[in-house]
Structure 1
Amino acid sequence: MSVGIGISDDGLAHVTLRRGDAGNAINLEMAQGLLDAALACERADTRAVLLTGEGKSFCVGGDLREFSELSGEALEKHLIAVTDALHEALRVFARIDAPMVAAVQGAVAGAGIGLAASADVTLAAHGASFTAAYTGIGYSPDAGVTWFLPRLAGPKRALDLLLTNRRVPAEEASRIGLVTRTVAPELLADEAARTAEALRRGPTAALGVTRRLVATGLISDLGPHLDREARALATAATSAEGGEGVAAFLGKRPPEFPRAVPKR
């Protein structure tokens, strides 16, 4: 299997890209595997997702070797099948409550940037680098890259990266908002696991609402967004999570947020 998925009893999902010998290039099998993993997270009592890639590189983008074996209508249909599966995976991960942590190393290119940018917390190892690459081979972007990059780095920087295909080192990626922070390569796995575990222990429903409020806030007028915030806060305050959070704060103890009912 090109994508591994494991969900622990306590609700931590570990999604692993498993084509390390090919730079975790996304072929049709991997795109479908990512969708299967996303749907498994949605069905399960998932409280946080940790996304990693095996090998030297996180993800170098689409599998050009696979694509080059086709042409014309066959290639068009194949690419639509790949992007349909990949994009639906991104939609599912975005709509579930569980926040995602991505641990990124080595080369990140093309759709790999979309995967890294889609995470709520993206940790990059020193030495990682980001290259859009699409227009360098005459392609246009996919994997939400033209949606994420302008929102994270601004439209001018996004166009710089997308049109020039220049290599962006991890430290610059952190400065422009493409990644959350950089860590030493030997600490990447432990730091990502620690971050995911901290989110797993959090109030999952409140985290999910917060994720969606941030996303909609970027495309909403202030007035309607304030209304959404008010309704969401009232719902959260009257929930079991809100009750436990306040009780723990007043009792000066760590909260033990209840688990959600699994979706079937």
Structure 2
Amino acid sequence: MHSTEFLDGVLIVTMAQNVPAPLAAMRMKQAGARVIKIEPPTGDPLLELSPAWHAEMHAGISIERLDLKADAGRERLRVLLSDADVFITSQRPSSLTSLGLDPQTLRARFPRLRMLRIVGSVREPERPGHDLTYQAQCGLLGDEMPRTLAADVMASERVFAGTLALLRQSLGSIVDVGVVESLDPLLAPLRHGLTVPRGPLGGGAPQYRVYAAKTGRVAVAALESHFAIRLYEELDLPLRSDPSLRFLERTAIEWESWARERDLPIVAVEDGR
């Protein structure tokens, strides 16, 4: 067994949709696990939103579309779960109960099966939501739509770690992963005032800010005193004065080249397209 295939011989069955579980399942597959994904007859919603990302995350993963409201679909799932080491879900507890997939029912039928349940929040598992609402309720949203699915990606890390933890626990164990709770590490800078509006890393320090250039924008991160002093000396401006007008004199690309020559942490802002 290759040293990176530490999940060789493990069977993961997942019926969790969208991003957190599929992203984690991709890593499980890369670590040697066999992964079977159960999708509804209409497919995972992500398939319609981003076919390319769906394909990327499911490379090498077996996908079966089952109607779990039909006897044939439920029977097929039972066959798969009889051999599974871990079962991953992202449906709300009430939905799992209506499908006969609640922990009590599963434990009675499959006593060796470990289960990982993804919910919006462990405190409010029935409350609906998605990445946007999770970021919003945690205070991570700015004036524009988020550029990444921070809640989903952070939750995928917990799903992966939770699966590893389950495999070390006794048969029949259960782990719950809350997407909201997964954002906790990202909230520390905000909680401690670093990235609040006008905070030291939230636009309050002129040497650590984003500025409009002649074309494009530049990110200036002259945080340490030696960088800040050099920046203002090179700009011929008083220390910690507002340099916004000066940055309008060149394009963002020109400023990045200028900064590279002077060993300053300034880069052109990529638009992410």
TM-score by length of 2: 0.24
Larger radius of gyration: 2
The structure with the largest helix share of the pair is: 1
TM-score, normalised to structure 1, is 0.25
Higher relative contact order (CA 8 A, sep 6+): 1
